[in-house]
A and B are shown apart, each in its own frame.
Chain A
Amino acid sequence: MARNAGRPSSLESVSPRGERRPKPKRSVGRYTLLSLTAVTLLLPVWVTVSGAIQPYSEVLDYPASLIPWPLTTEPIREAWRIANLDRYLINSAVVTVLIMIGQVVTSVLAAYAFTFLKFPYRRALFALFIGTLMVPTEVTIVANFQTIRSLGWLDSYPGLVAPFLAAAFGTFLLRQAFMSLPREMEEAARMDGMGHLRFMWEVVVPLARPAIGAVSVFSFLTAWNQYLWPLIVTTDPDMRTVQIGLRSLASANLDELNLVMAGTMIAALPIIVILLLFQKQLVRGLTAGAVKG
């Protein structure tokens, strides 16, 4: 007791929830660093957004103003019209949703098999499966292109979607989540007469929802941002996705910077919305299984 008598401050720095609050001096440094990082990351986004809602003449002003004025929707409407964005956005949405559903379904099934089914060489097969994570997309792109062309799927949704319907990353993430379920629950399900499909659907999937949410968001983001593959398998402008539309908008209108910014903003909007809606799920899912309990 006597040793602590002169140090009441150590009690004060503990919050009611038992977390240790950083000391004031430290937190000034921490918040400065965080603010600087936030400004560095958000400034380009802000410049894009403000460029997209100003007339062309204001965008090129020097010194540039951070507050956009006067405001106009003209660049957005113009970019939409010139770049044929409605068609591209629909294509992107269809392709992204199909890829997302495909990846979630195949990841759940594969992760279930690797976790709950006993079959010969299970570990070796899983290692091989995960090994494909180390193969860059560029390596398989030629083979994939030849397959898609031989199937006659160039310039079509199946061609855009098929190579991405299964994902090792999602399988890995979900297997970790499934493995954290208590073994006794699987045994209880067997005693209760649940088959594999019913156990997966009724127990495993609801309990692994955060991880499945993370896989969905992650596959949505990657699929939406695809550029190289859609560029290769589509030549018909009606089948191209928004990222390609953006690239052609940029190259055709290099001088009209605010149109490019408006196009970029439109293309990024769905991702931002998805991220804002699911960010908690995404963080929770990516760390799920890392710590037991």
Chain B
Amino acid sequence: MAGLQLDALTKRFDDTLAVDAIDLDIADQEFLVLLGPSGCGKSTVLRLIAGLEYPSSGTVSIGGRIVNDVDPAKRDVAMVFQSYALYPHKTVAQNIDVPLRSQKLPKETRSEMIAEAARALDIADLLGRKPAQLSGGQRQRVALARAIVRRPAVFLMDEPLSNLDAALRVQTRAELVDLHDRLDTTFVYVTHDQVEAMTMADRVAVIQEGKLQQVGPPSEVYDEPANTMVARFIGTPPMNLITGSPTKAPEVAPTDGREVVVGFRPEHVAITPDGWLRGKVLLVESLGHERLVHCEVPGGERVTIRVDPDDAIPHDGEPIGLAPTPGRIHWFDPSTGRRLP
């Protein structure tokens, strides 16, 4: 068990800056999710923590000890890979045994630890099989068992659910949260899937373009995005962002009439004839439990509104008025993209 600190952690690959001076404190036993789009540098951060990459500058500390020069196996971290990376010619038991043999533990102890890990992940009856004889979900459990068996201080997971089908993903998500509760260990989990981040994390760290954009509990990241990047990335469909100088808005923009970016979530806007924002309906999508009305507002920007299926639905081409919910409107600086107080 240990906390984790990243200090100005930077990784450069030739001319590309993959990770740009990230500072992050991860508390002991925390479930932290690194969230970001593909290629944003989140996996590189995880690999830097694991020791699979060497930082260009900055430090990684685990349990208060700087581990930049420590071998991956000696950092007291375990990693679950996206492809699981099981050894295909070894049985499940032998796969789980690999990290234990590295620790040169006696055979009886190893057998007990393997049995315990197998029980924890419900794979005790699969110990004699080879990875090729297992389903995707079972392989994932074996990869997890191989990680938990040596009781590391920190667990690193690189998109471990991305190879599972939708139903299994939902189930495994809950099981991982349960595993975290049982193990009392720090989890650092990488994903591009915001649903995974919102449902599992104690805190979410949003990374884009190699930079840490925001860290906070899922609700905070959703309700108070630190900048337009986070606002655009979190939420499906994402937050509506319109640039302009609103004069009719019920809430006064904090910019003395200068141009500003106004943001509001699709569920925080009502269609009403006296709405201060005028728009024209482009398309109505029905998702069963809700409908999404896409419209165009003056200036050519697109806005999406989430509508209850029982409510009146406007027709394509119809001009409508939109009224974002007061108190749910976000203001951002158009030049920096930062949230305005």
B72 pairs with A191, CB closer than 8 A: yes
Complex interface: chain B residues within 8 A of A182 (CB):
83, 85
CA distance A188 to B103 in the complex (A): 15
Check: A60 CB closer than 8 A to any chain B CB: no
B89, A206: Cβ atoms under 8 Å?
yes
With A192-B98, A192-B102 as known contacts, state yes or no: A187 contacts B52, CB within 8 Å. Answer: yes
Residues of B within 8 A of A187 (CB): 50, 52, 72, 79, 81, 85
Contact (Cβ within 8 A) A193 B99: yes
Indicate if the CB atoms of A191 and B50 lie closer than 8 Å.
Answer: yes
A218-240 interface with B by 8 A CB criterion: none
In Å, the complex CA distance between A193 and B150 comes to 11
Q: Across the A-B interface, how many residue pairs have beta carbons closer than 8 Å?
A: 53
A178 to B86 Cα, complex, angstroms: 16
Whether B309 is near chain A, meaning CB under 8 Å from some CB there, is no
Q: A250: CB under 8 A from chain B?
A: no
Given the complex, which residues of A lie within 8 Å of B86, measured CB to CB?
A: 188
Q: Are A184 and B82 in contact (CB under 8 A)?
A: yes
Interface string of B300-325 (1 = CB under 8 A from A): 00000000000000000000000000
Judge whether B72 and A190 touch: CB under 8 Å.
yes
Which of A185, A190, A191, A193 sits near B87, CB closer than 8 Å? A185
CB distance from A273 to the nearest CB of B (A): 28
Contact, CB under 8 Å: B89 / A191:
no
Chain A proximity mask over B202-216: 1 for CB below 8 Å, otherwise 0: 000000000000000
Min CB gap B250→A, angstroms: 53
Q: Mark B81-107, 1 if CB is under 8 A from A, else 0.
A: 111011111000000001100110000
Q: In the complex the two chains form, what is the Cα distance from A191 to B85 in whole Å?
A: 11
With A and B bound together, what is the CA distance between A206 and B88 in angstroms? Answer: 10
Contact in complex: B73, A188 (CB < 8 Å): no
The reply to whether A185 and B73 contact each other, CB–CB distance below 8 Å, is: no
B78 at the interface (CB under 8 A from A): yes
- Tell whether, in the assembled complex, residue B83 and residue A203 are in contact, meaning their CB atoms are under 8 Å apart: no
Q: In terms of DSSP, what is the predominant structure of the interface of chain A?
A: helix
Asked if residues A193 and B73 are in contact (CB atoms below 8 Å), the reply is yes
Beyond A193-B99, A194-B98, A194-B102, is A188–B89 a contact (Cβ under 8 Å)?
Answer: no
**Chain B contacts of A184 at CB under 8 A?**
81-83, 85
Q: CB within 8 A of A203: which of B81, B87, B146?
A: B87
Which of chain A's residues have a CB closer than 8 A to the CB of B88?
207
Q: Which residues of A contact B77 (CB under 8 A)?
A: 191
For B99, list chain A residues within 8 Å (CB).
Answer: 191-193
CA of A193 to CA of B146 in the docked complex: distance in angstroms?
12
Whether A190 touches B83, Cβ cut-off 8 Å, given contacts A206-B89, A207-B89, is no
CA distance in complex: A202, B78 (Å): 20
Is the pair A192, B52 in contact by a Cβ cutoff of 8 Å?
no
A165 CB, nearest partner CB in chain B, Å: 28
* Min CB gap B110→A, angstroms: 13
Q: Mark A155-198, 1 if CB is under 8 A from B, else 0.
A: 00000000000000000000000000010110111111110000
Q: In B41-59, which residues have CB < 8 Å from any A CB?
A: 50-52
Chain B residue at smallest Cβ distance from A187 = B52
Say yes or no: B85 contacts A190, CB within 8 Å.
no
Q: How far is the CA of A184 from the CA of B71 in the complex (A)?
A: 17
In the bound assembly, the distance between CA atoms of A189 and B78 in angstroms comes to 11
- By the criterion CB–CB under 8 Å, are B85 and A193 in contact? no
**B85 to chain A: which residues have CB within 8 Å?**
182, 184-185, 187-188
Q: Across the interface, which residues of B come within 8 angstroms of A188, CB to CB? A: 79, 81, 85-87
Question: Are A192 and B146 neighbours in the complex by a CB distance under 8 Å?
Answer: yes
Find chain A residues with CB under 8 A from B72 CB. 187, 190-191
A207 to B82, CA, bound (A): 20
A193 touches B103 (CB 8 A): yes
Q: What chain B residues lie within 8 Å of A190 (beta carbons)?
A: 51-52, 71-73
CA distance A206 to B86 in the complex (A): 14
Complex formed: what's the CA distance from A261 to B89 in Å?
A: 46
B79: chain A residues at CB < 8 Å are 187-188, 191
Most buried by B among A184, A185, A192, A203: A192
User: In the assembled complex, how far is the CB of residue A117 from the closest CB belonging to chain B, in whole angstroms?
Assistant: 15
For the complex formed, measure the closest distance between the CB of B85 and the CB atoms of chain A, giving whole angstroms: 4
Interface string of B19-60 (1 = CB under 8 A from A): 000000000000000000000000000000011100000000
Shortest distance between the CB of B158 and any CB in chain A (Å):
9
Interchain nearest-CB distance for A284 vs B (Å): 16
**Docked complex Cα distance between A203 and B72 (Å):** 18
Leading 8 A-B pairs by shortest Cβ distance: A193-B102, A193-B73, A188-B85, A184-B85, A192-B99, A184-B81, A192-B98, A206-B89
Question: Could you write out 17 A-B pairs with CB less than 8 Å apart?
Answer: A184-B82, A184-B85, A187-B50, A187-B52, A187-B72, A188-B86, A188-B87, A190-B73, A191-B52, A191-B78, A191-B99, A192-B73, A192-B98, A192-B146, A193-B98, A193-B103, A206-B89
Beyond A192-B99, A207-B88, 12 extra complex contacts between A and B, CB < 8 Å: A182-B83, A190-B71, A190-B73, A191-B73, A191-B79, A192-B146, A193-B98, A194-B73, A194-B102, A202-B87, A203-B89, A207-B89
